[in-house]
Chain A
Amino acid sequence: MTQILIKNGYVFDPLNGIKGEVTDIAIKDGKIVDPRELNPEEGITVINASGKVVMPGGIDIHSHIAGPKINIGRMMRPEDHYTTNKPGVFPYIRAETGLSTPNVFRIGYEYAIMGYTLVAEPATPPVMTRHTHHELNAIPIIDKMAYVVVDSNWMLLDLITNNDPKLLAAYLSWILKATKSYALKLVDPGSDFAWLLQGRGLDISDELPVYNFTPADIIKSIAEAAQVLNLPHKLHVHCNRLGFPGNYATTLRTMELALNIHRVSEGLALHVTHVQFTGYKGDSWSTLESGGEEIAKELNSNPYVSLDLGQAIPDRAVTTMTADATFQFVLYHIMKNKWYSSDIESDGASGIVPYKYKKKNYVNTVQWVIGLEVALLARDISRVFIATDHPNAGLFTDYPLIFAWLMSKKARKIP
């Protein structure tokens, strides 16, 4: 029996509407209980939290912490490890290494230090999920979960063609069960299929090769199946045309789809992820502008979507990794450096390219603005999640910077 008493902290608990009350929190056998339930005879560990904030553990909704992509990132970027080592402490603290491609121990330790207790790995192809679980298992301290990528799965595309929503829902529920994953993920819907067959990507209303439907149909069918399955986090969408100027229009259309979904289950219908990468206005890199305002407006008027930022961090060397193989091929041509790509069974594809965000680069500056603009203009902040799409736009260890930028005008002026 473990008994802990956290005394005199400023307690924040949004679920119960407690905003900074000074009070005590008691924990008995891993559960929060009334302090009167603690038995002093059995010994109580008292933690003095006076002057400190006591709050629930943070949840990171989107961070690439495990699976084949991050592991290839580790292999591809030995230079990411060289100056970042921290020896282990005998016998239980393990050695840490890597910044944008940290080893499992650094991931667990750093998240725990930041007060995060649950992190979601947002993209694991079904056939590779056993690998993802191996890594999640190896990450210490924090709780973990994974979203399974289903957008370019051939069997699923067949089921959408056959127009049998019941069978589609059954298939998705089997995938979730078989892969022990938490939610469904779409990555540039349908594009990996087009990439596999023809080496190209798709916009939301382009027809898929072979199949006569569009990415919008994929999103709608799977979102409706998620309604039938009553999933807690319905559908995690990485929009089409990610990384291309003018793609904010595609993002807006994806968000609008949430209004047309036949809703039979409570909660939000769609989650649009790393919106910074899909919030580009303008028709070329030189005329790039922020589409953050439009996206925030859509979020304010559409009650069925949530989003996360994918906030870009200036002067940060990152390793971009995504199941959006098409865009990574484009990024490889921009960077002209290393490029890793892999086609994964009949499930999808992926790409990995090292990148660096520069303060003096116009595009990178606009990227920095988009994320902040969306967050600052959103009226319902409970539907806006802070994330850097680690390690794509920044590292998860950069979150305190984002908090500062959002809370303080002065902080925003510095970078």
Chain B
Amino acid sequence: MEFHHLGTKKIFVDTTTEPVTSLEEILRILSAKVLQIPHGTDIPLKSGEKRIIENVACPICAELCDYLKIEITGNRIVRNIGGCAKSVSKFLNYHKDRILKPYIRINDKLVEVSLEEALDKAADILVNAKYPLIYGLSITSVKTDEYAIQLAELLRGAVDNPSTFCHGPTSLAVQEVGGVFTTFSDVINLADLVIFWGSDPINSHVNHLSRNIVPKGRFIGGRKDRKIVVIDIRRTELANMADLFIQVKPGRDVELITALRMALHDLDIEVDNVAGVPRDMVYKLADMMASAKYGVIMYGLGITENGVKHRSVEELMKLVQDLNEYTKFAVMPMRGHYNVVGSNEASLWLTGYPYAVDFARGFSRMYVGVTTAMDLLINGDVDAALIVGHDPVASFPRKAVQHLSRIPVIVIDPKWSLTTAFADVIIPSGMTGIECEGSAYRMDKIPIRMKKILDPPPGVLCDYEILKLLIDRVINKKVGKA
């Protein structure tokens, strides 16, 4: 395969004859505490009575499709109708690689223990830590998020969720200037211009197009009545189906947004070329935007995570605010994990801040770059970590991961992951949306009920129940210590 980047050299991707790096090797490179994590531990499946459950919400991405039909026989999920490939894979393989018993690490081995022992050890770690970090919360229900934040407050630690490295800048932009947002139904029924900027739903939110762009709305026809514009640094799959594709130089979106604002305000753009986009194209796009009846910019990490930090999103919000002088225009952040929005919302109502909340002084503070999980780990500020429903080892930079190998780590998760190789205590939990019910928030902030369609494996609790037990233990131990 061959990729072209503006202003960069050609990049070739080719097949190799080198052997695939083994899991053990990866764990050794990352200096994991345990090199052999048990896997292949599946829930034994038994066929039985056939059931079809309708309107199931999908615990994958923030599209939160809530119209799935799931067919079950016994405890085997046999069919998922309406879900995308990712959704089908999650439901049909829910039983694979499950953590079925609590574990404690002794030297480099994980040893099976009772839930009581695991909770006790976990509470000991947390109570004895000076400044623990609680991280995750996006792949679980808001109830779990609420307990996790309460625990952070009791321990005077820090609590963070994955918006710290995805749509956190969206929150920062809202803190600075506000914004104009919309929801799915308005897009379906009204939007005649949809701009995908630094996002590629064909790969990230698979059902997004068939759900929001293709259908006929009340005041607009289907796809043929909507103009689709794709702005990205490379010609994505989505660009091929767009009416207009604009290629912008990597990391320079903010220049293009500023130029669009200038065009809207009838200011002269003096350069011929803005961030790789010809001046005429800037005027054309600005005109398209201002003359749309209801426009939406669906932006992704291409906007939020580049060199200018939250300045691109801030400028984007201002652009949309300006566009509302002419017409109706809004943005929609294409959020990732299915409940990352919920983790922001719960954090807001409990602490006043959406992420990176620190309780070292007994009240909430948010310092991006200081109390964000990544910085706390890279700078070695925290001396224990509790990971709930997330796999930071798979996504954090090496330095942050290495700190996890130096401090005690507690992992609450339904499945074996890279992070479990760094754990001192592992407590298994049920899968939210399959074995545990709760609420999750869609990317447009609509709360959706996650259903329980199967029982968790014997002896396994939902993560909010585990956190509740942990909170009780922490209170008792702290009172005992005092």
Contact residues, B116-155 vs A (CB, 8 A):
142, 146, 150, 153-154
Closest to B320 in A: A341
Question: Closest chain A residue to B326 by CB distance?
Answer: A199
A115–chain B nearest beta-carbon distance, Å: 24
Q: Are B349 and A342 in contact (CB under 8 A)?
A: no
| A87-B475 CB under 8 A given contacts A71-B345, A75-B171 | no
CA of A87 to CA of B345, assembled, Å: 21
Interface: B181 (CB within 8 A): yes
Distance A77 CA – B185 CA, assembled complex (angstroms): 28
For B230, list chain A residues within 8 Å (CB): none
Q: Is the interface of A mostly helix, strand, loop or mixed?
A: mixed
Closest to A97 in B: B352
Most chain A CB inside 10 Å of its own CB: which residue of B185, B350, B352, B446: B352
Number of interface residues, chain A, beta carbon within 8 A: 53
Residues of A within 8 A of B351 (CB): 95, 97, 103
Known contacts A131-B445, A138-B146; decide if A197 and B180 are in contact (CB<8 Å).
no
Interchain CB contact under 8 A, A196 and B190: yes
Q: Nearest Cβ in chain B — how far from A349, in angstroms? A: 9
Q: Are A128 and B446 in contact (CB under 8 A)?
A: yes
Surface stretch bound by B, among A3-11, A78-86, A245-253, A257-265: A78-86
User: Contact: B441 with A78, CB < 8 Å?
Assistant: no
- Residue pair A95, B363 in contact (C-beta under 8 Å): yes
Which single residue of chain B is at the shortest CB-CB distance from A67? B349
Q: Which of B153-198 contact A (CB under 8 A)?
A: 153-154, 171, 174-186, 189-190
CB distance from B291 to the nearest CB of A (A): 14
User: Provided the pairs A103-B349, A138-B350, A343-B183 are in contact, do residues A68 and B362 lie with their beta carbons within 8 angstroms?
Assistant: no
Verify A134–B142 contact, CB threshold 8 A: yes
Q: Is the CB of B178 within 8 A of A338?
A: yes
Hey, what's the 0/1 contact readout for B308-341 against A, CB within 8 Å counting as 1? 0000000000000100100110100000000000
Task: Among B150, B174, B185, B441, point to the contact of A75 (Cβ < 8 A).
Answer: B174
Nearest CB on A from B433, distance (A)? 15
Binding site for A on B (CB under 8 A): 142, 146, 150, 153-154, 171, 174-186, 189-190, 218-219, 321, 324, 327-328, 330, 344-346, 348-354, 359, 361-366, 439, 441, 445-449, 475, 478-479
A-B interface, 8 closest residue pairs, ranked by CB to CB distance from nearest: A87-B362, A85-B363, A340-B178, A130-B447, A338-B178, A345-B185, A342-B181, A95-B363
Listed by A's residue number, 25 A-B pairs whose Cβ atoms lie within 8 Å are A74-B352, A74-B353, A75-B353, A76-B175, A81-B364, A85-B364, A87-B361, A94-B153, A95-B153, A95-B362, A103-B350, A103-B351, A104-B350, A105-B350, A127-B183, A131-B445, A138-B349, A196-B328, A199-B328, A340-B174, A340-B181, A341-B324, A345-B446, A346-B186, A353-B178
Residue ranges of A at the interface with B (Cβ–Cβ < 8 Å): 66, 68, 70-72, 74-78, 80-81, 85-88, 90-91, 94-98, 101-105, 127-128, 130-131, 134-135, 138, 154, 196-199, 329, 332, 338-346, 352-353
